[in-house]
Amino acid sequence: MKKIILSSITLASLLVIGLTLSSNSSGPGGNRTGSPGSSGDCSGCHGGGSFGGTLKVGITEIGDTTFLSFYTPGKVYDLHVISGGTSTKKGFQATILTSSNTAAGAISAAPSGTGIDIAGGKSIWGHTSTSSSGVWKSIWTAPAPGTGTVTIYGAAVVSNANGANSNDQVVTANAMIGEMVSSNTKSLDATKLKVIENPTNTVVRLNGVAKNMIIWNNQGQVAASSKNTSELNVSQLPSGTYYLQTVSENNVRNTTAIVIK
């Protein structure tokens, strides 16, 4: 009788250990994106390993691969989470929030192997089965006009594929996406700063003085900037398309695509 009881206990223990070793291959649940108000990132359970893990998050035009620095309100974009590293099993969670840390827009059309959950009123997109490629793509519908800058938060586990939480690598990333500002009212349009020559190869000139001028490249990096001026030297920049964001003296913001020859 004792042998039977011991065997039952041993079997139950093995089942518990097996469930533990399965780790979170079907997704961690909750919100572990590393965003404000989340339960942190995945490092609460995983960590200690190093597999050359990287993480990149961002949006692109549908079917494109160039990450964007600005969104048009109400427009639909591809949402990307890309995790690198030598592991054959990778997982992730991601969310998009406004500056006040509320849900920004809507994530939808989660592909096979991923799912969308609601945690704290926020859409959390994450894996439901691990991926060897670490490349995930979904659909994001941008929020209404006036939402302002939004931030994509992501966390990924680059695991050692042993089924346990130990000796995995956790990587995090975030990307700020500005709102492409436009208006149909003539009064507001009249106050916007405009580029005098576009394309240009030396200097970006405006029709008035800007409190701030910032030029972003397609990777979301600041390529050039200046304050309280109507000109910005761009002769050092490689040829290509950039995004000029200006703030006028009466605080009207505008974003314009510019071409540098």
Helix H, strand E, coil C: the string for 152-165 is EEEEEEECCCCCCC
108, β-bridge pairs: 139
Can you list the residues of the chain whose pLDDT is less than 70? 1-28, 164, 182-191
Neighbours of 168 (CB within 10 A): 28
Q: What's the CA gap between 129 and 91, in Å, rounded?
A: 7
In CATH, what number is assigned to the domain containing residue 91? 2.60.40.4060
Domain that holds residue 255: 186-260
Last residue of a domain, one of 127, 161, 179: 179
120 and 201 belong to one structural domain: no
Residue 136, pLDDT score: 95
List of residues 6+ apart from 174 with CB closer than 8 A: 34, 35, 57, 151, 152, 153, 154
In CATH, what number is assigned to the domain containing residue 218? 2.60.40
Output the pTM of the full model: 0.61
34 and 51 belong to one structural domain: yes
Last residue of a domain, one of 125, 158, 179: 179
Residue 23, pLDDT score: 45
200 and 117 belong to one structural domain: no
Q: Based on the structure, what is the number of domains in the chain? A: 2
78 and 198 belong to one structural domain: no
90 domain residue, yes or no? yes
Residue 9, pLDDT score: 37
**Which residue is associated with the tokens 């969104």?**
71
Neighbours of 236 (CB within 10 A): 8
Residue 182, pLDDT score: 56
29 domain residue, yes or no? yes
Residue 98, pLDDT score: 96
Residue 183, pLDDT score: 46
159 and 204 belong to one structural domain: no
Neighbours of 148 (CB within 10 A): 14
Residue 65, pLDDT score: 87
Last residue of a domain, one of 179, 196, 215: 179
32 and 112 belong to one structural domain: yes
16 domain residue, yes or no? no
108 and 173 belong to one structural domain: yes
5 domain residue, yes or no? no
Per-residue pLDDT tens over the stretch 131-149? 999 999 999 999 999 999 9
Residue 189, pLDDT score: 53
Q: What's the CA gap between 148 and 171, in Å, rounded?
A: 27
213 domain residue, yes or no? yes
218 domain residue, yes or no? yes
